[in-house]
Amino acid sequence: MLIVMLLGIYAFQNDWSGGPGVQGPVMTWGNRFWQCWNVNYANPGILSLVATFVTPGNWVLRFSDPGGVHHYQGFQSYDIDGDGDKDLVMLSGDIVRWYEFVANWTYIPHDIVNLGTLTWDGYAGIWPGDFDGDGDGDVVVADAGWGDPDGRLVLCRNNGTFWTTTTITTASRSRVLAADFDNDGDLDLISSNRNWWDVAGIWYYQNDGSGNFTESVIYIPAMDDVWRLAIGDLDGDLDLDFVATACQWGGTWANVFLNNGSGVFTRFQVGPDLVCVDGMWLNDIDRDGDLDITLANYDDAPNPFEALLNDGTGLNYSLVILSGDAQNYTDGSIARDMDLDGLPDIVGSYLDLGYFRQTAPWPTFTEYHIASFWNSHWVYPDDADQVSCTPDIDIFATREGANEIYENRVNSAFAPFGWLESSILQLHAVSDSGGAISYLGWGYGTCIPNDTAVAIYWRMGNTVAEILAASWIGPIFLPKGTGADSVFLGTPCKKYFQYKIELRGDRVNNEIATQG
């Protein structure tokens, strides 16, 4: 994560997965940047040199919790205790549980609360985040139960040494995701429900910054179901939108909800020719600079994996078949770059767990089976082996009877050198008049392999032309391994700021440079 501080106000960037093309000036970096060469940015939170040669390797089961239920969603990593490493967050039976990271593949379990009704129908979801702004990781749980009053949306608040729970609503909720939809610096919620036991719909919960939420209705469908939610900037206006999909006896739909920047959403239906969408996620699957909607159709659909390709407006999409003969993988699915070659792949689960590797020509996806995986509806790729600082993408998955992590053993060779330039960040409303002084510095938190060099450069200016003509200052070489540091840059009161990251492998093979 890169941080710029100006008079106590922080701008930070810890995700580049939105891709290049934004020169700026911008008021916030978000997940976009200006340009790069030989750098893979496809996975949130990770930069690496592009893999130039890939040999898919073995996958090893590294973690298993016995409490998985088939329709549970949200098992993932998050720094719950604020110590800088990734812990695990999950639903385990009726228990909300987190596992404290000790060392690679070694964790200590901690039970947060037993909610008692999660396993009644198995439709429940969990999402972590710092919802009250105190620096600790909290979790929100959606529980369909058997409908009102057994269903609920619950905030489990981490107070550092103990947990408290607050019921946000007693209505049935089956899915929940978190993001800052109104751009006020705290995490809001969207939550949906199937109507087997209660009203189907999508609701917005606006956070006041302290973990108190105000509910409003976003959409109540005429038909009877909402299955999946996914968040991302679909129209390129730097605020967060979302997509909802359904698979119902009365018809299937995908709806885009575009945000006006204040948490007010406008619905647009897309994909009228869909078969029966089950798994769904957002990624720039065709690498054209905007987020697309990857779709996994129900297990007997003729075209299991499809995509709605975005034209950049967030309104117009074209339907493309990505892979046939993949019916055993389509209940849980997500698009991530599993081999770090710069092309997003598809990870899927249902009766099997595996991924479909994207290669040229577009669209070519090749199946790689990982394990038999009975009745799974959730997969989530992330880098779980943290000590080595090698950002291979592992797989978190939930099935009937277990929450499990599979370690990625892919073998790759990487480009020897690459760089990325940020968007130009605007620091001041006006240029320095000569009377203002600001203290400009930055910090970084990194996990860098031992035989990889990562260097940071920066430059400043009072106009865009000035900053683009300026020479880069630096380099600062970031330390190997896991660590954080900060650098004081002096007191220039410049209007614009830009940074550059250079990644250089000390060996071309067997090592990946990473920032994130």
Q: Which of 97-111, 194-208, 478-492 has the highest mean pLDDT?
A: 97-111
What are 409's two structure tokens? 């053993």
What value does the mean pLDDT take over residues 408-416?
A: 84
| Count of Cβ atoms closer than 10 Å to residue 442 Cβ | 22
The confidence score (pLDDT) of residue 51 equals 87
Model confidence, pTM:
0.88
pLDDT in tens, 325-373: 787 888 888 889 998 898 999 999 999 999 999 998 999 999 999 999 9
Phi-psi region at 508: left, alpha or beta (left = phi > 0; alpha = psi -120 to 50): alpha
Q: Which residues contact 182 (CB under 8 A, 6 or more apart)?
A: 188, 206, 261, 262, 263
Read off the pLDDT band of 433 (50, 70, 90). very low
Hey, is 211 helix, strand or coil?
coil
Per-residue confidence band for 432, with pLDDT thresholds at 50, 70 and 90: very low
What are 12-29's pLDDT values in tens digits?
788 898 889 899 999 888
Nearest to 495 by CA among 452, 438, 435: 438
Residue of 99, 197, 207 whose CA lies nearest to 149? 197
pLDDT given at position 484: 63
Sign of CA dihedral 45, 193, 255, 357: positive
Query: 148-197 pLDDT, tens per residue?
Result: 556 899 999 999 999 999 999 988 898 999 999 999 989 999 999 876 65
List the one residue out of 118, 115, 193 whose CA is nearest residue 156.
115
The confidence score (pLDDT) of residue 250 equals 53
Average pLDDT over residues 292-316: 86
**Residues near 242 by Cβ (< 8 Å), separated by ≥ 6?**
177, 190, 229, 230, 231, 232, 257, 259, 265
Task: List own/partner pairs for 18-22 with CB under 8 A and 24 or more apart.
Answer: 18/233, 18/284, 18/291, 19/284, 19/287, 19/289, 20/289, 21/289, 22/423
pLDDT at 266: 97
Reply yes or no on whether the pLDDT at 216 is more than 50.
yes
Name which residue leads in pLDDT, 220 or 265: 265
Check if the beta carbon of residue 330 is closer than 8 Å to that of residue 347: no
Q: Select the more confidently predicted residue: 132 or 479.
A: 132
Query: Residue 510 has which token pair?
Result: 């067997």
CA distance 189 to 155: 11
pLDDT confidence bin for 144, thresholds 50/70/90: confident
Query: Degrees (nearest 5) of the Cα angle 38, 17, 85?
Result: 100
**Does residue 274 carry a pLDDT above 80?**
no
Best CA proximity match to 406, nearest among 390, 422, 394? 394
The DSSP code sequence of 279-323 is EEEEE-TT-SSS-EEEEEE-TT-SS-EEEEEE-SSSS-EEEEEEE
Give the tens place of pLDDT for each residue, 90-123.
999 999 999 999 988 999 999 999 988 776 667 8
Q: Which CATH class is domain 224-332+354-373?
A: mainly beta
Distance CA 6, CA 476 (A): 20
Q: Looking at residue 395, what is its pLDDT?
A: 95
In degrees and rounded to multiples of 5, residue 327 shows phi and psi of: -65, -25
Q: How far is CA 469 from the centre of its chain?
A: 35
Are the beta carbons of 339 and 363 closer than 8 angstroms? no
pLDDT value at 436 more than 50:
no
Q: Does residue 270 sit in helix, strand or coil?
A: strand
Mean pLDDT of the chain: 84
Q: How far is CA 35 from the centre of its chain?
A: 21
User: Are 118 and 97 a contacting pair, CB within 8 Å?
Assistant: no
User: Which pLDDT value is given to residue 272?
Assistant: 64
- Beta strand spans in 175-250 (E): 175-179, 188-193, 201-207, 213-219, 228-232, 241-248
Window from 129-138, 381-390, 483-492 with minimum mean pLDDT = 483-492
CB 42 within 8 A of CB 344: yes
The DSSP H or E segment spanning 418 is strand 417-421
